[in-house]
Amino acid sequence: MRSPGILLQILGLFGATGALAAELDVSDLREARVPPPSWSVVGSLSPTYTDNALFSRDDRKSDVYYEPDISVRLDGNLTSDLSYRIYARSQYEAFATEKDGNAAIARLGGRLTENLDGWRFSFIYENRYDFDGVYRDLAFTSHDVMGSVARDFQVSNVTLSPLVLLTYRFSDLAEARRWRFDAVLGIEVKLDPKWSVVSTPLIEAFWFTDGLNAGRQDQIYSASLGLKYNIQNNVSLTTDVIYEARTSNVPLRRYRDLRIGPRLDFAF
Amino acid sequence: MVTRHAFVLIGVLIGISAASAVAAAPRDAVERSQSLDTDALRDDVRTNRLQTPYHPLDIAPPQRPSSISKKKKQAGPK
């Protein structure tokens, strides 16, 4: 005799839970109103001096190159902690003398970022077009699939921004297919509201999988030290010294390089 | 016969050296791509330090999560 009563109680509980959940959903939607998508143009412009323009192990040639890197982005939120970005990015290097070093990349990509307790987990897809010269001849086309984890830590006047990134490149050029791992630490020490000392040490590892490069393994170690001046919140000028060394199991691919130059970074 | 073998040997050597030169070009497209990618990563770190303003093409000014919590706090004591 008691069983129908228990059944009713259980049904009532489910019903109440359902109603509560529906109410929570509505209130959640009200509370977590996501901002509308926004457009931005973000980039860097720089003349840079390098003491190894062609990344040669033995034949070092100094040169100056100009490198703009400009993106148009659409950023938006799907929920309060899940954001997306759709972007187009253009970047090239134009050397004053060593024209063989000229190269350009056009990228179209999308990114999904989940923010969990300050950690940013991103999944990124990028369709890339690599050119010889400054958009002269298409060298190869790739599809990069990436996953990254990043976070910012603020300790007094120091901001630490670690990032790890894993990429696989699918490409129509067999030699370009590879795994890539990056570990980067952005460091900014604020001296006052306008001036900062900045550094970006990084380690990269590459495992090439196909073609003539099959079995090739490269590692890049780099450190930099710079002085940043904030012209505005969205425009800064940084002059830094960058040292980069690449080791490889293909001896000819080893090099070291020192670069010095100012760089204008902006976001509009 | 010896001359013919010598020509074949020279031909093979030229072929091998040409192929090696192609494979070992100091800065081919893959090398240039690797360099631009590393630079792009540094650019990302630098531009992430900037405060991106909302673009004038925005239809409405976005609401930051902090402003929502502020409103909640303001509404609370009433």
Q: Is the dihedral angle over the CA atoms A141, A186, A244, A263 positive or is it negative?
A: positive
Map residue A79 onto helix, strand or coil: coil
Q: Tell whether the model's pLDDT for residue A21 goes beyond 80.
A: no
- The residue-averaged pLDDT of A23-31 equals 50
Rounded distance between C-alpha atoms, residue A59 and residue A52, angstroms: 8
Nearest to A131 by CA among A142, A120, A123: A142
Q: Which residues of A touch B63 (CB under 8 A)?
A: 33, 35
Lowest-pLDDT choice from A77-81, A152-156, B7-11: B7-11
Q: Tell whether the model's pLDDT for residue A128 goes beyond 90.
A: yes
User: CA-CA distances (angstroms) from residue A198 to A21, A89, A145, A218?
Assistant: 48, 24, 29, 26
A225 & A155 share domain: yes
CA angle, A75 then A79 then A81, to 5°: 80
A134 & A12 share domain: no
- The residue-averaged pLDDT of A118-124 equals 94
Q: Which residues of B touch A199 (CB under 8 A)?
A: none
3-state per-residue secondary structure call for A224-240: EEEEEEEEECCEEEEEE
Number of domain units in chain A: 2
Chain segment B35-50, per-residue pLDDT in tens: 999 999 999 998 888 8
* CB B29, CB A103: distance < 8 Å: yes
Name which of B26, B34, B35 is nearest A59 (Cβ-Cβ): B26
The per-residue pLDDT for A6 is 46
A131 & A182 share domain: yes
A5 & A77 share domain: no
Name which of A31, A69, A233 is nearest B43 (Cβ-Cβ): A69
Lowest-pLDDT choice from A83-87, A122-126, A243-247, B59-63: B59-63
- The residue-averaged pLDDT of A134-158 equals 94
Give the distance, in angstroms, between the CA of residue B31 and the centroid of all CA atoms in the same chain: 12
User: CA-CA distances (angstroms) from residue A151 to A34, A110, A154, B78?
Assistant: 21, 20, 10, 37
Q: Which residues of B touch A59 (CB under 8 A)?
A: 26
Q: What type of residue is A183?
A: A
Q: How close, in Å, is residue A38 to chain B by CA atoms?
A: 6
The per-residue pLDDT for B49 is 83
Q: How close, in Å, is residue A110 to chain B by CA atoms?
A: 15
B27: confidence class by pLDDT, cuts 50, 70, 90: low
A43 & A21 share domain: no
- Chain B: residue nearest A73 by CA? B55
- The residue-averaged pLDDT of A171-182 equals 95
The per-residue pLDDT for A265 is 93
A135 & A4 share domain: no
A68 & A175 share domain: yes
- The residue-averaged pLDDT of A79-100 equals 93
User: CA-CA distances (angstroms) from residue A165 to A90, A119, A153, A200, B76?
Assistant: 21, 13, 18, 15, 42
CA angle, A258 then A247 then A222, to 5°: 40
Give the distance, in angstroms, between the CA of residue A163 and the centroid of all CA atoms in the same chain: 9
Cβ pair A220:B23 closer than 8 A: no
A8 & A44 share domain: no
A3 & A134 share domain: no
Q: How close, in Å, is residue B17 to chain A by CA atoms?
A: 15
Burial of A245 (0-12, 13-18, 19+ CB in 10 A): middle
The per-residue pLDDT for A140 is 94
A201 & A250 share domain: yes
* CB A99, CB A66: distance < 8 Å: no
Predicted ipTM beyond 0.85: no
Prediction pTM value: 0.75
A57 & A143 share domain: yes
Q: Tell whether the model's pLDDT for residue A198 goes beyond 90.
A: yes
A180 & A235 share domain: yes
- The residue-averaged pLDDT of B41-67 equals 67
Q: CATH number, domain at A73?
A: 2.40.160.40
Q: How many CA atoms lie within 13 A of A118 on its CB side?
A: 6
Lowest-pLDDT choice from A95-104, A118-127, A157-166, B66-75: B66-75
Rounded distance between C-alpha atoms, residue B26 and residue A86, angstroms: 34
Segments forming the whole domain that contains residue A16 = 1-31
Q: Does A267 touch chain B (CB under 8 A)?
A: yes
Q: How many CB atoms lie within 10 A of CB A41?
A: 13
Name which of B34, B35, B47 is nearest A265 (Cβ-Cβ): B47
The per-residue pLDDT for A54 is 84
Cβ pair B55:A69 closer than 8 A: no
The per-residue pLDDT for A17 is 45
Mean pLDDT of chain B: 62
Rounded distance between C-alpha atoms, residue A88 and residue B49, angstroms: 20
